Structure 1
């Protein structure tokens, strides 16, 4: 009986490896202007020579989720292939007046606000189809936001891996320790996606966390 159980276990392991998803689907989440697309571009340029999309100081500039498949990251002798999804900035409310403050007319502002709202809904739906999340936080801002708490709660409820990235450490007012103290139950890497500071440590943590 022991031999049969061992055979079944070995066969199950072989079957799981044979039909295991080749690429882990990892979503890059966070509030508007936290640096999600800057980070996505950094990862893609480092490993594919390409970019995910344009970066703008205007909030909600990314209004649709963008997916790049087959991004292979190598760290500490390990190789990990990911499908990376860059998502729109999550927000509890999107006011078209935010766009008008950037010099857009009312019609264009309302159109963008509508698209941004649809993008947030799409990003939330994506959470149900991911294998893990990189949650980008602005290290100059208060980490205790509804967006951050909601994403972390969702990942914890589904027992999926989460990696927190404290971005913008190149700014003098940044305080990554505040983020670490706020969510000590999850691994965190402090980086500057813009300047590439500490990016190798991030790749090591991605390989460890999502591999």
Structure 2
């Protein structure tokens, strides 16, 4: 960890103790392979220097159990928040074991993976009862108006959970984050590349303001 990161973390902890900043539990949601775990790992690295939260893989549903990191303090442009984050399994309306066989898994392994992924989706939905807000990560290279995204947003709106949409993968040439803004104009959207670290300062400020 560099000197700047250490100073930033120490200052954040000191400010939180002195001024009693709100502590919020935020879930990271979205469809498989939208970049949820990549983003979670970025947040953990930037604000704790404590390694990674989960494993990133091109295989869908690599995250099949919710993983939590507590005690992060984000300070961005004068806004601050004490944060617990929960990286959740990818949301899906249907999980077919044959999808995993395409990645070279045996039928037995693929069926086991599909069962675990289905259980992970159920767990992710249950987590909504214990959250103060949601970061909904979408792949900005894909059509945002999908059954999964509409269902997830509807579920969150019904629970009155504060929602911040993250338009990820803007580093890719076919990214079109404007489509996400047009599809869901009722919610704020921040455009980032979790992989390359683009616009993360803007995201951190939005998190501190939106959930603080």
Return the TM-score normalized by structure 1. 0.88
1:25 maps onto 2:9 in alignment: no
Q: Within 1, Cα distance between the matches of 2:210 and 2:49? A: 24
Q: Within 1, Cα distance between the matches of 2:79 and 2:100? A: 44
After superposition, give the CA deviation of every residue in 1:12-68 in whole Å (9 maximum; x if it has no partner).
Answer: xxxxxxxx9952110000000000000000100000112111100000010001011
Count of paired positions: 192
Q: Within 1, Cα distance between the matches of 2:77 and 2:146? A: 34
Higher alpha-carbon deviation: 152-161 or 27-36? 152-161
Q: Within 1, Cα distance between the matches of 2:148 and 2:130? A: 19
Contact 2:22–2:81, Cα closer than 8 Å, also in 1 = no
Q: Within 1, Cα distance between the matches of 2:78 and 2:180? A: 29
Q: Within 2, Cα distance between the matches of 1:157 and 1:36? A: 22
Q: Within 2, Cα distance between the matches of 1:189 and 1:155? A: 18
Q: Aligned-pair distance for 1:76?
A: 1.6
Q: Within 1, Cα distance between the matches of 2:122 and 2:81? A: 29
Q: Structure 1 residue runs of 4+, over 4 Å off?
A: none
Q: 1:160 to 1:21 in 2, by over 3 A?
A: farther
Q: 1:21 to 1:146 in 2, by over 3 A?
A: farther
- 1:122 matched to which residue of 2? 123
Instruction: Say which SS state the counterpart of residue 44 (structure 2) adopts.
Output: helix
- 1:65 matched to which residue of 2? 66
Instruction: Say which SS state the counterpart of residue 28 (structure 1) adopts.
Output: strand
The gaps in structure 2 that reach 5 residues or longer are 1-19
- Counterparts of 1:173-192 in structure 2, within 5 Å, are 173-192=174-193
Q: Within 1, Cα distance between the matches of 2:129 and 2:148? A: 16
1:39 maps onto 2:39 in alignment: yes
- 2:166 matched to which residue of 1? 165
Q: Within 2, Cα distance between the matches of 1:148 and 1:68? A: 25
- 1:194 matched to which residue of 2? 195
Contact 2:167–2:189, Cα closer than 8 Å, also in 1 = yes
Instruction: Say which SS state the counterpart of residue 138 (structure 2) adopts.
Output: strand
Contact 2:21–2:82, Cα closer than 8 Å, also in 1 = no
- 1:103 matched to which residue of 2? 104
Contact 2:21–2:81, Cα closer than 8 Å, also in 1 = no
Instruction: Say which SS state the counterpart of residue 82 (structure 1) adopts.
Output: strand
Contact 2:26–2:84, Cα closer than 8 Å, also in 1 = yes
- 1:88 matched to which residue of 2? 89
The gaps in structure 1 that reach 5 residues or longer are 1-19
Q: In angstroms, what is the RMSD of aligned CA positions?
A: 1.3
